[in-house]
Amino acid sequence: MCLLAFQLQKHPKYKLIMMANRDEAYNRPTTPADFWSDYPDILAGRDLEQMGTWLGINKQGKIAALTNHRDFSLPETGGQSRGHIVSSYLQSNETPEDFLEQLHNSKNEYSGFNVLVGSSEELYYYSNIEQKTEHLKNGTHGLSNAFMNTPWPKTEAVKKLLCDYAESTNEIDVDVLFNMMQRAERFPSEQLPDTGVGGELESMLSSIFIASKEYGTRCTTVLLVDSEDQVYFEERTFKNGVFATAQKFSFTIENPTA
């Protein structure tokens, strides 16, 4: 996944409002979001190459999401699939702190990543590039392929869109959130980071919703958890940049966990 924004414990009705785009090669095999047959408590999409995922929630309310860290000046490390980090947390009985401590000990087994773990009550962030854990404050946050709240233009844009909208209404319209995540305009080159991919590719990757010949936004996910522990999860998938399908799920968290 390459971009997410979320608001934690700030809205009068929703403990968590999250929206996310997964950007990936169009030919990478993936299944749409569903409860997994081998782990029926987990709701997530699935990468069929490595059998991991980029964002998910389980029936006990554990939440995890991951983005890759993009900086081609850094050496490649590790050969393990980063998607297994998300699925491992959702399968585990560990606290976020214990899980991230163990992950820190195996940080070099993976290429650069950012991971978010916890629940709608509290969330923790870890990057194996920064090598530190952060207990996130309540409020609005954004994450792309740098560190948490790094002010890349599209990260700042989705944070502001989400914050302004959430402050304006007691009822969240998921269509409004999806529209935020489907903005395809690129940002001016002078505002962009230099991650080592070259100016043309940096520009293509600068938009919130990415569409190119072979790579782009494969799905957008909206996750809501309200004050009564009611979960709404919707994933909209795209084929070569064009809307294809939608998967919608609602359930009540069982035995909520922090």
Cβ contacts of residue 188 below 8 Å, gap of 6+? Answer: none
Q: Which residues of 199-231 are buried (b: 16+ CB within 10 A; e: fewer)?
A: eeebebbbbbbbbeeebbbbbbbbbbbbeebeb
Q: Is 13 helix (H, G, I), strand (E, B) or coil?
A: coil
The pLDDT of residue 34 is above 90:
yes
The number of residues in the chain equals: 258
Contact criterion met (CB below 8 Å) for 245 and 236:
yes
170-219 per-position pLDDT tens digit: 999 999 999 999 999 999 999 999 999 999 999 999 999 999 999 999 99
The pLDDT of residue 258 is above 60:
no
Alpha carbon 142 to its chain's center = 9
Asked whether residue 183 is domain-assigned, the answer is yes
Instruction: Tell me which residue has tokens 């938009």.
Output: 207
Q: Which domain holds residue 198?
A: 3-252
Instruction: Tell me which residue has tokens 């996944």.
Output: 1
Asked whether residue 257 is domain-assigned, the answer is no
Asked whether residue 91 is domain-assigned, the answer is yes
Identify the pLDDT of residue 234. 98
Number of folded domains that form the chain: 1
131-151 per-position pLDDT tens digit: 999 999 999 999 999 999 999
Q: If pLDDT is split at 50, 70 and 90, which confidence band does 257 have?
A: low
Identify the pLDDT of residue 74. 86
Residue 165 burial by CB count (10 A; 0-12/13-18/19+): exposed, middle or buried?
A: middle
Residue-averaged pLDDT of the chain: 96
Across the range 81-93, mean pLDDT stands at 97
Asked whether residue 258 is domain-assigned, the answer is no
Give the CATH number for residue 225. Answer: 3.60.60.10
Task: Give the predicted TM-score (pTM) of the model.
Answer: 0.97
For 159, phi then psi, to 5°, come to: -60, -45
Asked whether residue 72 is domain-assigned, the answer is yes
- Residue with the bigger pLDDT between 78 and 232: it is 232
